[in-house]
Amino acid sequence: MKVIGLAGWSGAGKTTLLKRIIPHLLEEGLRVSVIKHAHHDFDVDVPGKDSWVHRQSGATEVLVSSTRRWALMHELRGGAEPRLAELLKKMSPVDLVIVEGFKREPHRKIEVHRAANQKPLLFPDDPGIVGIATDMAVATTLPTAHLDDVEAVAALLQRSAISVEDVLAKSEV
């Protein structure tokens, strides 16, 4: 299992880019999973449904299963937010895990940068950034790809990904 991140400021288009890249990678025969970091309170459950009621009642974990999918929700209940390494250990094996966000973690990342966002680039200050997907010219020796070139960005992700074992080893340092 290999891991690569997408990092960038809010509004840079990370999710939009992933929405376009995942089908391309699937067409290439890869099994792909995503870990997404959220900076705010979020909910994947519908208020009033049984699983929501169980969680709101204080359950630490609620697993919902059907013939189509299963989802595990784990409430931290005041505990520390898990680090990326801990979350990676919970993932089922696939060919490629794409990590959206977690820009302060030490894994390898492709920076997603959109000129209209008017934010500074992350790469000069983040040694984990190994490439840039952008809609503007950037003076760098890092490999770059245009945001609209799905094939090039997908190739950059695959070339830059490292084994989950290497990511976990970096996280222990």
Task: Kindly give the pairing relationship between strand 129-134 and strand 144-146.
Answer: parallel
- Model confidence pLDDT, tens digit, residues 98-142: 999 888 888 999 999 999 999 999 998 899 999 999 999 999 999
Q: pLDDT band at 66, cuts 50/70/90?
A: confident
- Residue 85 CB: number of other CB atoms within 10 A? 17
Is residue 114, in this structure, part of any structural domain at all? yes
- Model confidence pLDDT, tens digit, residues 13-28: 999 999 999 999 999 9
102 compared with 96, residue with greater pLDDT: 96
Is residue 23, in this structure, part of any structural domain at all? yes
Is residue 68, in this structure, part of any structural domain at all? no
Is residue 54, in this structure, part of any structural domain at all? no
Is residue 16, in this structure, part of any structural domain at all? yes
Residue ranges making up the domain that contains 98: 2-41+81-171
Structure token pair of residue 158 = 């695959």
Cα(20)–Cα(67) distance, integer angstroms: 27
Q: What is the pLDDT of residue 69?
A: 87
Supply the CATH number for residue 162's domain: 3.40.50.300
Taking phi first (over 0 means left), then psi (-120 to 50 degrees means alpha), and beta for anything else, what does residue 140 get? beta
Domain count, the chain: 1
Identity at 76, one-letter amino acid code: L
Is residue 145, in this structure, part of any structural domain at all? yes
Is residue 139, in this structure, part of any structural domain at all? yes
